[in-house]
Amino acid sequence: MREDKPFTIYGQTFESRLLIGSALYPSPQVMTDAIHASQSQIVTVSLRRQNSVSAGQDFWQLIKDTGLTVLPNTAGCHSVKEAVTLANMCREVFATDWIKLELIGDEYNLQPDPIALLDATEILLQDGFKVLPYCTDDLVLCQRLAALGCEVLMPWGAPIGTGKGLLNPYNLAMIRQRLPDMTLIVDAGLGVPSHACQALEMGYDAVLLNSAIAGAGCPVKMARAFNHAVQAGRAAYIAQAMPEKDVAAPSTPTMGMPFWHQN
C-alpha cells in the first residue's frame, strides 16, 4: 500500500481531486448544480476582455456564489504578451495569484505552444504568479517547467474537448515516474469517468475537465459520476494494484478438487 499524500496546489490542500470548468453548460443554473454535484473545490474560469470586471459581473457572481476556489485561465491566448496581460487582468478581477496558463499553438486542435509556454511561465513566476501550466505530455517540457519553479503541471490527456481519454498513457506514466514529487493534474481530453479513474490510478494527483460534464446529456449526473471515478482511482492508487501477469493464475486452489472438474 502506498502512503496517501494530500493533494496540494502551491501549499494549499484540497480534499477533492476533481477540478471543474465553467463553460459550455446549457444554463448557469445547470452549471451551478453540476459544480455542486461534482464536489469539486476548484473551478476554472475564462476571462475575456468583453466580460472583464463590470461587464461580466453577473456571471462572476454566480461563480463566486459557488464558494469554490477560482482558478482563472488564459484560454484563447496565442502569444506570450496576450497571456501575460490576461493573467494580470485575472489577478485583478479574481484577486488571486493562481493562473492556469494556456497558450495555444495550433488554432484547430488547441494544442499548447510549448516554447511560448516556457517564456510566459518564466515571466509570470517572476511576477509572483503561481503558475499552473497546461502543457502537452512531453517529459522534457515538463522537466523544464519544473526547473523554472512550477509546483503544479497539467499535461493533457488528449486535445481539449475531444473526449478521447489518455491518448498516451506511456508518456503520462513517464512524467509521473520522473517527477515524483510534483503535483500533476491531467487537464483536457477526458470524455468518460473511466478516463479520470485511469489517470488517478496512474498516480496523477487530480484531473481537470469541462466538456465531459458540460456536454453530457445530464451534466449533473455526469458530474457525480466523475466525482466517484476520481475517488475510485485515487483509492486504487493508494491500495496499489496487483502486478499484471501474462498467464492465468487460478484464484481458487485446485487441490482437493475432483479431477473431472479440473479442466
Determine whether 245 is an active site residue: no
Residue 215 interacting with another protein (CB under 8 A)? yes
Region of 42-50, 83-91, 137-145, 237-245 interacting with another protein (CB under 8 A): 42-50
Contacting residue, 95, 108, 248, 255, with another protein by CB under 8 A: 108
How many residues sit close enough to another protein to count as binding (CB under 8 A)?
A: 23
Among 5, 81, 100, 164, the active-site one is 100
**CB 82 to another protein: min, Å:** 12
Exposure of 107 by Cβ count < 10 A (0-12 exposed, 13-18 middle, 19+ buried)? exposed
C-alpha 147/C-alpha 143 separation (Å) is 6
Q: Are strands 183-187 and 152-155 parallel, antiparallel or unpaired?
A: parallel
Could you tell me which residues are beta bridge partners of residue 71? Answer: 44
Residue 251 interacting with another protein (CB under 8 A)? no
Neighbour count for residue 248 (Cβ, 10 Å)? 6
**CB 48 to another protein: min, Å:** 7
Binding track, positions 44-63, relative to another protein; x by CB under 8 A: ----xxxx--xxxxxx--x-
Q: Which amino acid is at 174?
A: M
Contacting residue, 12, 29, 126, 177, with another protein by CB under 8 A: 29
Binding track, positions 62-101, relative to another protein; x by CB under 8 A: x---------------------------------------
Q: Which residues are catalytic?
A: 100
